Every structure is written in C-alpha cells, then in structure tokens.
Amino acid sequence: MPASSDLRVDAVIRYDEPTAAVPVVRSTRTPWYVMLAAILLAALVVAPVLVVFGQATSAGSAEASRLLFRPRTAELLRNTLLLVALTVPVTVLLGCGAAWLVERTTLPGPGIWRTLLLTPLAIPAFVSSYAWTSMLPSVQGLGGAVFVTALAYYPFVFLPVAALLRALDQGHLDAARSLGLTGLGAMLRVVVPLQRPAVAGGALLVALHLLAEFGVLQMMQYPTFTTAILQQFAVGFSNAAGSLLAAVLVVLCLGFLVVEVPLRGHARIARLGPGSGQRPVAHRLGAWTVPALAALAALVGLAVMVPAAIVVRWLARAISSGAVEAGPLLAATGSSIGLSVLAGLAATLAALPGAWLLHRYPSRLAAVLERVTYVASALPGVVIGLALVTLAVQWARPVYQTAALAVTAYTVLFLPRAMVAWRSGLAAAPTELIEASRSLGVSGLGTFARVVLPLVLPSALTGFVLVFLATVTELTATLLLAPTGTETLATAFWSASDELDYVASAPYAAAMIALSAPLTLLLRRQILDQR
C-alpha cells in the first residue's frame, strides 16, 4: 500500500474545503478488501429479504394470491395497523410529555427522573406483559396490548426528544418572542419543528417494534402478522403461507420507513452569530409541581415498579416452594450469555468494514451500503429467522440447527447498533493521527491496528454491549433458530409462561431484568452527552 499518493489527494482536498470543521480524509483508492467485506456483509443482510419473497412465491402465483387475498390476511392487517395506530400516539404523548417535564421545567430531581423514565428498557415487554396478565387476567386483547406496549416502548420517544430538548438553544426562543410571538406561539413555531426528527424517529422505532412484537401479543391473545407467522411455522415449517405473511410484514415495514421521511421534515434551524448557545430557561411549574410529579411517578410505577414487583413476588413464591431449579436456570443463563457474547462480537466485527468505509472513504456506494444495513435490520426477528431456516435447509444444511445460524440472525438484526457505536468512535479518532502514522510509513492496516483501534475501542465496546443486551432478550428469531435442546433465558421463560406457569417463569424473568439493567445507565449517557 503506497501511502504517499493517498496523502497527496488528502492535502488537495483539505485546501479545497477550508471551512470544514473536521477535515474529511478522502481517497480515490478504497482498499479492495474493505469494500469487498462491506459488500459481502450488506449482501448477507439483504439475503433474508430475498429468501422470504422467493419462498412466498415458490408455490406459484395462483397459490400465492389465494393465500394472500383471503379474509385472514385482512384481519391480521387490520389488527396490526390498529395496534400501531393506537400505540404510537400514546408513546409520543408519554415520551414528549415526560421529556418536556424533565428537561424544560423546574421539576425537582430531573437527574433521577431521567434515569427512572428510561428503566422500562431494562424490562423486556413480554416480561411486563407476563407480570400484568398474571395479576389481572382481564388485561387482554387490543386494550391490553396497547397498555403494555405503550408503557414498554415510550422511552424510544423519550430518549431522542429529551436529548434534543436538552440541547435546545434559548436564543431561538428569545428571538421568536422578540419578534412578537407568544410563549405558546414560540413553542409551536420553534420547539416543535426542531423536535420533528426526534419524534418521527422515535415513533418509527415504536412502530417497527410493534410489527416485530410476538411475546406480548401472544399473551394478550391479539393476533398480528408476527404471531400468525410463528403459528404457521409451528404447523408447516417454512411453508409458502408463512413466508407470504412474512412478505406482507416486510412491505409494511418498508412502508413505515418511507412514511417517516416526510414526517421528519427538512427544516434546518441554525445559529448565526458568535458565542455559544444559551441553556434554556426552565418553565416554572409552581402549583403544577405536585401533579407533574404524580404523573411521572404513575408512569414509572405502571411501566417498571408494578411489573418488577410482580416478578419479585412470583420469584419469592418460586424460591419458597423450592421450584427454582438451579441446573436449568444456570444452563439457560449460560447459553444466553454465550450466544449474546458471540452475537456481540460478530456484529461488532461485521459493522467495522462499513463504518470504516464511510469514515475514511465516503462515497455514494458506502452510503447505500449503510442504508441497506439499516433497512434490512428494521425487519422483525421472525422474518430473519424464517428466512435463515429456509436458507439453511435448502442450501446450507450443515449450519442448520447450529448456534452459528442463530448468531448470524442476531448479527443481521442488531448490526446498526454496532454500526452507530463504531461511527461515533471513529469520528473521535482525529484524521491527523492517521495521516501522521501513514507518513511514518505504517501501512493502512497497521495504522488501523496501532492508532485507530485503541482510540475507538471504548465505543466498540459500547456497541458490543448494546448488541449483547438486545440478544439476551431476543425471543422470536431464537425460537426459530436456537439449536434443539438449547434453552436461552428468553425461550425458557417463554415455554414456562406459555403454559401460564407463573412461578416457573419468574427466575428467568428476573435473570433477564438483571442482565438488561445496565442498558439504562448506558443510554442515560447518550442524553447527557448532548451538552
């Protein structure tokens, strides 16, 4: 790898872009191995989608349309869309309301509330659904599903909105007020447009999670595409009927991704003039302090405290009745941790070529490869699982029923988490250091290993942990792909709670919460980092 030519190009481009805050190092020559790796990984991520469509049409178009255009599909479509239409607005309301109270008012103890409001992320939705149904069997159907999923998923809206509100510049509001707008007017004209991308992004995340949700809806006896696909798999393996439903789910998913773009808006609000932004002035709550505190307490109580308390109660019963078997619990914890470590490592490694490409050799192709990763990873676990079963049984029999296949699914599903972490890490590695290293004659790979890697490893570790935690509570792909005889915490919990054995499920639920709890602290940093 001759380093000099790269450097010459870099220098020219740098002089061409004197205003760029961070000089972007571009190269006309992308290392072929990085490009190849990135392309192969993008292909791996897209393969499941192609397989699902292939399998769906395998029975011929007449059979496919017979299976597709039937009342059941309409029923599932209606159920799925109704769930999304009801839950998403509730999460937006809860997320934005809570974020405003915490970041923009004189609410006492914002630091504590910020943490508490994120804790629902530590309790898998199917665990809180189990907790509620075990105490109140009437929490069921659409109502129950909206109740449980809204409480479980509002942090997806809260997190980005709180981060943006925290970064809000009071100068914008002051300017609006000085131009004659009322307080409310300033809010509507300045704050709301600024929040649009955060709200739209959060709502999209909630919608995608709802499409993928299985555990909660099965417990609530509310059939959607995902539950119907798993049911078809149970009776017919990877047949055309199941794959067709999966294909519809893929289309829905892509539809949401497209709809989100205009909702996000194109408004860009920038600061002009010298100085740094001002911290926003907090709204005085006054007499509203107590109701606000009560509302937040109720939210956290319903979303976290009550489900956690119920799990603890069942756990206590399990321990006192001697129903906790250490052997299976340890085995499940072991396979969960084992699979999650492998998934974390695989996804972290797999995300590197793409992130590296974007960082060092930005091009249209690199951007497309990155987008592709995101789109495919927005697909529900059940679709990826079904596709990989089909793929393995038809073309790669030896990997069928191996942990490798499950790890592949996790990698496809959680790649963006690792990608985001790498990108923020690479952004922190100044290009000057890379150039210095290259100018000292160190090769591209050598520079990566000796200069870049030590600087970005903390971020990579964050990515690893995010993938690890997501894998611990992954249920649907695991149900389809875990090698027979391997129980993870999620599947062991599921088989016990599916038989409504609340006592036997409790230890697994508690173990998942214990493993997931650190996620909250990790994400809390993301809000704080905004300042």
CB 467 within 8 A of CB 407: no
Would you say 468 and 344 are in contact if contact means Cβ atoms under 8 Å apart? yes
Decide: is 235 part of the binding site for another protein (CB under 8 A): yes
User: What phi and psi, each to the nearest 5 degrees, are found at residue 105?
Assistant: -125, 175
The answer to whether residues 160 and 101 touch, using CB atoms and an 8 Å cutoff, is no
Given candidates 31, 223, 265, 362, which one binds another protein under the rule CB under 8 A?
223
Give yes or no for residue 457 binding another protein (CB under 8 A).
yes
Q: Does 335 participate in binding another protein (rule CB under 8 A)? A: yes
Distance in Å, CB of 401 to another protein, minimum: 6
Residue 75 is a binding residue for another protein (CB under 8 A): yes
Tell the smallest beta-carbon distance from residue 6 to another protein (Å): 30
Residue type at position 452: V
Is 455 a binding residue for another protein by CB under 8 A? The answer is no
Residue 342 near another protein by CB under 8 A: yes
Site string for another protein, 487-506 (x = CB under 8 A): -----------xxx------
Q: Which CB atom, from 231 or from 289, has the smaller least distance to another protein?
A: 231
Q: d(Cα 128, Cα 124) in Å, to the nearest integer?
A: 7
Sign of the Cα torsion 455, 459, 463, 466 reads positive
231 touching another protein, by CB under 8 A: yes
| 413, amino acid identity | L
Name which of 467, 390, 483 is nearest 48 in CA terms: 390
State yes or no: residue 129 binds another protein (CB under 8 A). no
Range list of β-strands (E), 76-154: none
Interface positions, 132-161, toward another protein (CB under 8 A): 137
Is 331 one of the binding residues for another protein (CB under 8 A)?
yes
**Which residue from 81, 306, 337, 453 is in contact with another protein, where contact means CB under 8 A?**
337
373 belongs to the binding site for another protein (CB under 8 A): no
Angle at 199 between CA 193 and CA 204, to 5 degrees: 135
Read off the tokens for 491.
Answer: 């599947």
The whole-angstrom separation of Cα 107 and Cα 162 is 14
d(CA 436, CA 42): 32
401 part of the interface to another protein, by CB under 8 A: yes
**One symbol per residue from 156 to 195: x for binding another protein (CB under 8 A), - otherwise; what is it?**
----------------------------------------
The answer to whether 467 contacts another protein (rule: CB under 8 A) is no
CA distance 282 to 104: 5
Joined tokens for residue 384: 């990826």
Is residue 228 involved in binding another protein (CB under 8 A)?
yes
Rounded distance, CA 57 to CA 99, Å? 46
450 binds another protein (CB under 8 A): no
Residues near another protein (CB under 8 A) are 67, 70-72, 75, 137, 218-219, 221, 223, 228, 231-237, 239, 241, 330-331, 333-335, 337-342, 345, 393, 397, 400-403, 457-458, 461, 464, 468, 483-486, 498-500
